[in-house]
Structure 1
């Protein structure tokens, strides 16, 4: 397939006739809603959006795209900062209507279709007291999140989402529906959307909840450097049941935040402990004794509540521009740089933030041969979030870029795929080790030699 912009419009009557699901085209009711994705900064106009009802619709949509030489976007939840779930002039294959979920509590597995969101999957698995590593925002789609690796609250105990993917059904570029064999499944565990349309995913589940111990402890931003120095040592001895992240943010306008602090810049530690109340209290004790917090809302709560805790920070339509680094450690210079760059957040939108995710645990212990997800020896993943609802985007873009540049000297140079914007093939390649990337390239040649699935963090077949 070529990848050229088209000024002529393709007649979609044949596509409509071949699908059970609806097809939206420019000028028709529902088109604007169908073409948009979570990131409001992405404004693209596909020739058609096919909301598929099953595998047969996907096969027909891909055949139509090949016949008319249309580029193809695949959208699951659409919660992707790069906006690959939509495109200009091409065909969007929208999986959002594929919502089937089946939990097998005896086998501790769940099979879910490609349009399922994490909030929907958690709702079903928690009915049995089970869960798998999911996204930190409940409106994130399970498919894209998993294909990019998937770091979340359960990762230190049970690995990233990709580590828990045990089988998948895929429609390949030539239209063949297949059950992923061992090699293709390896590529799906972190290789992104490069190999086909994943119609269903089966996950390994773990006993979790329904009550866990977690939440957020807020500290004055003036204590940020001290907190990070404490944090980089404290995290070395944490039990695998405890996953944490540091956040620089504007304090939310919530009742648990003192009125005088709402909207002001703070530094916070968000956490999830899946063990007993006593184990959680012991693990949190050094953090609570570190300094007097602005607010402490860590305690027992439903796992599903923890999974929705950050939904308000990422509403649909928010404009977003992110950049990311893996960090092998938090050196003194890295801490000083983060604190210095975070000081500029006060001049930006209250949605802008810095996130520092602690990895290790099962993430580092899981053999890399089990999937394409790479850089397991990093201690931390840094995400720099420029996010705004209105106004000039330039200050946010500049701050993200400048912060990323300032942190390059302290980072490994490798991005985390799910936090990576549309930065080209060089940055996508850096998300993998050389050995893994070579294996992914061979897999791409086998399953998608014409690079039909290229609107993603692309792995070229050559």
Structure 2
């Protein structure tokens, strides 16, 4: 059924026709039969009605769309993969600059670099780079957009060995709020380059990235080991002690959830509440087997699926659990350490799981992430131990209020231990939470940068940083 756009969600006809004459991509208005499909995004709980969706094919289209929005006083949202939890790639009554058609990738295997346009999804980037036995550390779900992930930091399976996605960034091309064009790197516009690496959605439309490539795989030792959820206190206590001296080649995520109905999981475990430690050892397989041996021997696991496999296969393992169109809600926080109180809180709230889609994922940081100085990039939280991602998810609206309340309750119980937050895991939570993501000193610096590149706050459909007064 086609959605009904609010009356305000219209583009002035003269402005539309002028844009149409100079635009090479596809333009979708609210009366277009494709409108409902065009305004849909990954998080099905978000429903917004933009006046116009502009599918750009290059920089000229981005500039033309931006000029149209500016002349008409329309809000602007920028969409790459449309994968943000709060749905900031859509706006009511405004213009969506959609970059999905800008999806070119060019690998330079000699210099170990890759150029990728802003519409690229992580799975496509992985396929191209793994052909040459290399990768950019980037995320855990392959249909995530590269642009949004990168500009907020970029945690993923390779981060402890190589760092965050932004730590691989060599340069970025950007269209500014006034329609200008700039390339930022360490040697050119270095202050902008600093800000793009963690708060980049605030300053313009990044159209292309250049990344450093790292040798990976193509085979890694990876996969989940599952225990009954009732054993969570013991598993977490062992895990806390075990990870204190694991090598950087190992990145792990602890997951609390009901076992999903996947072919790799025996039917008698489907729907059973479990705690899993999912590993990715991006190094010598035999060495990885020795590193993981204590984990595999702990307690009595229900299932051990950790095995040598293609990195591409491991990168897509979460895809079935985060399908487009389901309803997603997240509360997140950084935690210094999994002390006994944090473990107790987590184990108690995990037992209250009801939805088959709700999860709590605990990312182990450190390693290469922590070796980048806190002030070297806008991305913060370099020294914390873990990032909690508490998802209250449902297939649709049924039960969604209860799952959101469950996620908020767990997050609130952890509040005495909060040590910041990863900006890509924020919902629409207000200025105070944005400040928590960056810290007061960085935020002052970012506000000055915002004043220089976007003084009118054109780019505000994001975790917004207001321009300095």
TM-score scaled by length of structure 2: 0.95
Q: 1:248 aligns with which of 230, 233, 256?
A: 256
Kindly indicate whether the alpha-carbon contact (under 8 Å) linking 2:135 and 2:216 is maintained by their aligned counterparts in 1: yes
Q: 2:402 aligns with which of 391, 395, 412?
A: 395
C-alpha distance in 2 between matches for 1:428 and 1:5: 32
Kindly indicate whether the alpha-carbon contact (under 8 Å) linking 2:389 and 2:425 is maintained by their aligned counterparts in 1: yes
Shift of 1:223: 1.0
Q: Please say which of residues 396-405 and 310-319 is displaced more in the overlay.
A: 396-405
C-alpha distance in 1 between matches for 2:67 and 2:272: 53
Matches within 5 A, 1:6-155: 6=8, 9-11=11-13, 12-155=16-159
TM-score scaled by length of structure 1: 0.97
C-alpha distance in 1 between matches for 2:421 and 2:443: 14
Shift of 1:370: 2.4
Q: 1:448 matched to which residue of 2? A: 454
Q: 2:426 matched to which residue of 1? A: 420
Shift of 1:36: 1.4
Cα deviations by residue, 1:319-378 (Å, 9 ceiling, x for unpaired) = 111010000111101100001111111x2x211000000000011111223211111111
C-alpha distance in 1 between matches for 2:230 and 2:264: 20
What SS does the aligned partner of 1:388 have?
Answer: coil
What SS does the aligned partner of 2:329 have?
Answer: strand
Q: 1:439 matched to which residue of 2? A: 445
Shift of 1:9: 4.3
Kindly indicate whether the alpha-carbon contact (under 8 Å) linking 1:333 and 1:410 is maintained by their aligned counterparts in 2: no
Q: Is the counterpart of residue 306 in structure 1 residue 306 in structure 2?
A: no
Unpaired runs of 5+ residues, structure 2, are 1-5
Q: Is the counterpart of residue 201 in structure 1 residue 203 in structure 2?
A: no
RMSD between aligned residues: 1.3
For this pair of structures, how many residues does the alignment match?
456
C-alpha distance in 2 between matches for 1:370 and 1:86: 31
Shift of 1:452: 0.4
Shift of 1:7: 5.9
Cα deviations by residue, 1:380-407 (Å, 9 ceiling, x for unpaired) = 0001101111213210111111111111
Kindly indicate whether the alpha-carbon contact (under 8 Å) linking 1:258 and 1:294 is maintained by their aligned counterparts in 2: no
Q: 2:370 matched to which residue of 1? A: 364
Unpaired runs of 5+ residues, structure 1, are none
C-alpha distance in 2 between matches for 1:318 and 1:329: 32
What SS does the aligned partner of 1:144 have?
Answer: helix
Q: 2:3 matched to which residue of 1? A: none
Kindly indicate whether the alpha-carbon contact (under 8 Å) linking 1:329 and 1:380 is maintained by their aligned counterparts in 2: yes
Q: Is the counterpart of residue 216 in structure 1 residue 200 in structure 2?
A: no
Where has structure 1 moved over 4 Å in runs of 4 or more?
none
Shift of 1:98: 0.4
Q: 2:381 matched to which residue of 1? A: 375
* CA distance 1:7–1:144, shift in 2 (3 Å): closer
Q: Please say which of residues 429-438 and 111-120 is displaced more in the overlay.
A: 429-438
Shift of 1:6: 3.4
